[in-house]
Chain A
Amino acid sequence: MTDTDSKQRLTSAMSEISRVILGKDRQIRLALSCLLARGHCLIEDQPGVGKTTLAHTMAQVLGMDFQRIQFTSDLLPADVLGVSVYNRDDGSFEFHPGPIFSHFVLADEINRATPKTQSALLEAMEEYQVTAEGQTRALPQPFFVIATQNPSHQIGTYPLPESQLDRFLMRISLGYPDSNAERQLLEGEDRRQMIQQLAAVFNSASLLQAQQIAAGIHVSPAILDYVQAILQFTRESGVFETGLSPRGGLALINAARAWALLEAETYVLPEHIQQVLPAVINHRLPLQSTQQDSEAPRSAADHILESVAIA
């Protein structure tokens, strides 16, 4: 498979997904680049804006087998990872893999589960493997998790701590569709049916290839300078409680690589960094409380976009 082939596939995947998810091109693009950068995605929004539909559509178009785990307060780690069951016929324990053994996992309403279950999932996401009953089992490749989360002030939730949020490459929110898109949505056919009819553009092999191409996108010293300037700004400006970790910087670069690939570029531009910046860093950078209280709340990315100069 060639580069151009990958790029064509990516373009058609984009257009297929946006046929179902109306007026959310930017979010689709972010979710796709998150996948291409081998990261996981957290979608945080109100119920009913199409989080599940987005995940479902992506899985369908990318040709990945799809599993959905609805997180509830009584969900146990074993329900996610799998469980060993005694087999009476041959007198041994047999492992029954949980829903996580899948290419594309939608972890719905992750903040409804207990921290114990949450961390079981997050560890699997990080390590790309599951250790249960002393045995380590690799997860299938490619492996992509979209977790959704209701805004934390709703009742009965266990909000993810910052250290766990760091495991997600991006956090995006869908938001309400604009009136045009909403009109079309209301007029249009059933989304679930549409999803069924979508043709798969990728398979797991071609997706892995695309991920490899994304990882090979050139990052020039000038871009590294810019990223370092951003990291330094988050640590020294005093706007943020803590600065970005090196992992945050790496995440920024990888996400920008994938974004560049989606724009059919062979190298990363400062604009690519800027495009992925809010999604990549906002959940990693809590603002100082004084800043949060200000009348017009501004995100971490806004501060950076304003203040960090491109040489």
Chain B
Amino acid sequence: MAGSNHKNAKTGRTNSELDRALLLMLPPGILLSVLPMLADMALPVTLLAALLGLWQMLIIGYRLKNPARLVQILILLVCFAALVFSYGYVIGRQAGVALLTLMTLLKLFETKTHRDCYIIVYSCLFITASNFFQSQSVWLMLYVFAVVIYLLSLLIALSDRRHSLGHAGHLRLAGRLGLYALPFMLVLFVLFPRIPGPLWGLPDDAFSASTGLGEEMSPGSINQLVSSSAIAFRVKFHGQVPPQPQRYWRALVLSSYDGRTWRRDDAPTSALPNLEYGEKQALIYDYTITLEPHNHHWLPTLQYPLPATDNRRVLMSGPAHRFSREALLLSKEPVTHALNYRLRSQANTLNRSLFDRESYKNRLLPAGRNPQTLALAKQLLESSHYQAPAYIRRVLQYFRDNGFVYTLNPGSLGENAMDDFLFGSRRGFCEHYASAFTYLMRAAGIPARVVIGYQGGQMNPLDEYMIVRQSDAHAWTEIWYGTRDNGYWKRIDPTAAVSPDRIERGVQNAGLDSAGLPLLLAPGNPLLKQLAFFYDSLQHQWNQWVIGYDQDKQASLLRALGLEGKASDLVLLLTVFMGLGALLVAWLLLRQKTRERDRVQYHYRRLCSRLARRGVRRNDAEGPRDYEKRVLQTLDLKPGQRSQLQFVFRAYRALHYGNHNNPKLEKLFISRARNF
């Protein structure tokens, strides 16, 4: 008997050796670790994964036979086919995770030994970590923590071959270990040297999951965003806050138009903008933006950023960036994770940068299209006596007077989009108005361009920062105002002519049909709003202190501690903390060992030393009964105390020398012994 057991353990071949209950917990483990990504995976892969998981559960649960080798190979081929069909390749982030998930599920078919189980659990841990490519929210972190605890409990169950703990025991132990790891995690998080930029190359699609403004604008591209309550960025103002109509967050300037889509200048100059800063200090806003990842380069700013040190560097803190000719901030790396930057803007600054090439480019129109619009431009230009200010007024007046509607459902436009819009539907969202206005300006020979970004922002009263949502996405126009040599880029928002409320009071008060707006933005429901603010505040803190904890913050933390903030200091601190941690753990373990064995004894000793202080010292070789007798004889006790002491001694004897494990009595003993 013993011999055969030994043999099994050595070869590890028999399936009976693996606990079925344990095996049954593996497929859910795999599915749990991939669950947050499942929705974003291609449908065939999701279905395959669910199907495989279910099948495995059935095989294990009902002791069915594993499919034949040939069938297994067939399934493998189906999996690859599904991957190639869905992604076109099997590498990269999404395809890679999908591949790993499917292979791990397939591995279950040939899981016969403990070693196989370990491999599966380790794969699960890897898959779980890859969830952070997708999102880095608090909730995901909590979820991942829970899943890791679950996987840890599986590892414990795998090692606990005698089942001395039970499932609940495994989970409890895993939870405890997880909690023990927390301080180490925190110390490592705070002190481990931060490296700017990614540590190693990630696949191109690593951070593809992001919504927000694209790098171009065509009809419908912005009103798509309006239904999204997702956060675009949050702003903390250090000092005054601009009024609602001034909250134009510039993200991108689009100057080339093909009749349908506005795009960025395809050959941007690297020249710096020619800015003329205003003199009044009053219009300077100092603010920190926490930007949600959007996978592009633009960093939204208010008009116009003040240089921080020299002309090249604008941000007071934040990522590596470039200050463009259009006075926009562009980060060097695509924004793939939430990032923080602080800067100052001065509202009454003039942008006087116009090269001839820019002047030319910003007057280009697609040839042979929109004849009605061109005719309208000509007519309005004539009636304003070829004066630019009057022309602008007339165009805006035209929007105001001709029954234009500001709506989320503009309907589709044809080949001559401008004609259709201006003389047909007359229903449009901001991009339609910005687009049409810019078109009309260019038609009159005025350099004009579309700016996209965000307009508005809502103050979170709980934390005093501004939330700017995707629904605040907006498009407006900048025209060259004044003469060729003495002009500047002036912001004109034609939407304001059609729907002044949009600009004055925000998109939620623009009179749009609320069905299209996100629930949280819909008017009314103050409690819900309060909750939403609270939730956002939490998310904001998370972004500030966890996601946004970068090299700069680490260095400033070290400086606050009186260190220089070099990497060597970090390593030193880390070593010290880890050493202290190891000592602490050793001490706790030792203490726990003695305490767990002798909790009763510990309290008895304390009782003895308290009695010794009252004059009756227990001799080393004195048993508890003799000692009790002597104490009762010697000390002058009240009857109540006397009986209590008798109880304590009796309970001690029963607990320490008796064979009944009685937790209730133990508790009672400890509390009474303490009280005495």
A: residues with CB less than 8 A from B are 218, 220, 222-223, 266-271, 274, 305-311
Contact = CB atoms under 8 A, between A and B. Distances in A.
Contacts of A222: 601, 656-657
A266 B660 CA distance: 10
Contact of B653 (A269, A306, A308): A269
A3 to B, nearest CB: 14
B657 A269 contact: yes
Contacts of B601: 222, 311
Given A218-B658, A222-B601, 7 more contacts: A220-B659, A268-B657, A270-B623, A305-B621, A307-B621, A309-B621, A310-B621
B626 interface: yes
Q: Secondary structure at chain A's binding surface: helix, strand, loop or mixed?
A: mixed
Interface residues of B, number: 14
A171 to B, nearest CB: 22
B623 A269 contact: yes
Interface string B580-602: 00000000000000000000010
A223 B623 contact: no
A266 to B, nearest CB: 7
Contact of B620 (A223, A266, A267, A310): A310
A310 B623 contact: yes
Contacts, number: 43
Nearest first, the 4 closest Cβ-Cβ pairs linking A and B are A309-B620, A270-B623, A218-B659, A271-B623
Contacts of A220: 656-659
Nearest to B597: A221
A266 B620 CA distance: 24
Contacts of A266: 658-659
Contacts of A267: 653-654, 657-659
B7 interface: no
Interface of B: 601, 620-626, 653-654, 656-659
A307 B626 CA distance: 16
A309 to B, nearest CB: 4
Given A218-B658, A220-B657, A222-B656, A269 B624 contact: yes
Contacts of B621: 305-310
Contacts of A308: 621
27 contacts: A218-B657, A218-B658, A218-B659, A220-B657, A220-B658, A222-B601, A266-B658, A266-B659, A267-B653, A267-B654, A267-B657, A269-B623, A269-B624, A269-B653, A269-B657, A270-B623, A270-B624, A270-B657, A271-B624, A271-B625, A271-B626, A306-B621, A307-B621, A309-B620, A309-B621, A310-B621, A311-B601
Contacts of A274: 623
Contacts of B653: 267, 269
Contacts of A310: 620-623
Greatest chain B CB density within 10 A among A218, A266, A271 is at: A271
A135 to B, nearest CB: 39
Nearest to B655: A220
Contact of A223 (B622, B625, B657): B657
A271 B626 CA distance: 7
A235 B247 CA distance: 91
Nearest to B618: A310
Nearest to B658: A267
A308 B622 CA distance: 9
A298 to B, nearest CB: 15
Contacts of A309: 620-621
